Amino acid sequence: MNSAALEQLCQQSCRLVESVADFIQGELGRVGSENIEVKGLNSLVSYVDKTAERQLVAGLSELLPGAVFLTEEETVAAAEGEFQWIIDPLDGTTNFLHQLPCFAVSVGLRHGEDIVLGIVYEVNRRECFYAWKNGGAFLNGQPIKVSVTAHLQDALVATGFPYRDFDAMERYMVALRVLMQRTRGLRRYGAAAVDLAYAACGRFDSFFEYGLSPWDVAAGILLVEEAGGKVSDFSGGTDYLFGGQMVASTPAIFDDMLKIIGSAFRENNR
């Protein structure tokens, strides 16, 4: 698929995602406790997640016939194929259920080993972040770039607290302690897709987290890369889509971030 075709598909997909976001917004504050399921430790789902996912699957199937899916709520069977949509219909479900203003729809398209299209739609602010391979990154039609922050001491860093996988929590706390002392500040919004979108547009200078799933990050990876940022796993490698750990950053402070996080996770890996 050439760049022009990807751009067209991206624009069509953005319109679909916006309509799904409108549905999600309309359900805010209407989900009762009887409508909430517990999938696992601190992992919640409601009919809103599932309905949104079905809407996305149906619409994307029409836009790109023959593509397969990998979705968080498993409303469609996961499959491998030439083109694979990777979907989180509602990243930040806990925020949504508590009516906290940070949750998003995240849609990525994978072709072979590459993410070639990514959309993160933050519902509350009606902000659509999108990118296609070699086409740049955009927010509501305007080009975006990562920040120009040159020094770690001036950086605002986003992260996600461990909430179900606590095996590496001590290692995480070592990294957190160093970053508290060496950066401008840390933020935890509770939606990795949004964290990555904010890193892509320069609101955050860096982001790191472990315990991630592909649908949390697929779209955000491309946003950061197309906005001029760098992405790696905690070892500096490329296993960040399925490897569960990620550092994403503006280039000037990427090496410092990777050194701190990599060192903490290596030295405390018992």
* Encoded tokens for 186: 């840390």
Architecture in CATH of 3-143: 2-Layer Sandwich (3.30)
- CA-CA distance, 160 to 204, in Å (whole number)? 13
Q: Given phi > 0 = left and psi -120 to 50 = alpha, else beta, which region is 112?
A: left
Kindly report the pTM of this predicted structure: 0.94
* Encoded tokens for 146: 């990562």
- Name, in order, each residue with C-beta under 8 angstroms of 240's C-beta and a sequence gap of 6 or more: 217, 221, 231, 232, 233, 246
3-state secondary structure of 257: helix
pLDDT digits (tens, 9 = 90+) for 174-209: 999 999 999 999 999 999 999 999 999 999 999 999
Which of 116, 111, 107 minimizes the C-alpha distance to 21?
107
- The boundaries of every CATH 3.30.540.10 domain in the chain are 3-143
The pLDDT, as a whole number, for residue 167 is 82
**Which stretches of the chain drop beneath a pLDDT of 70?**
39-44, 267-270
pLDDT digits (tens, 9 = 90+) for 207-245: 999 999 999 999 999 999 999 999 999 999 999 999 999
- CA-CA distance, 162 to 164, in Å (whole number)? 6
Which of 162, 132, 159, 129 minimizes the C-alpha distance to 146?
129
The pLDDT, as a whole number, for residue 269 is 45
CATH 3.40.50.2300 fits 152-267, yes or no: no
Sheet of 230-232: strands edge to edge?
185-187, 156-159, 206-210, 245-249, 230-232
Residue 6 phi, psi dihedral angles, 5° rounding: -65, -40
- The boundaries of every CATH 3.40.190.80 domain in the chain are 152-267
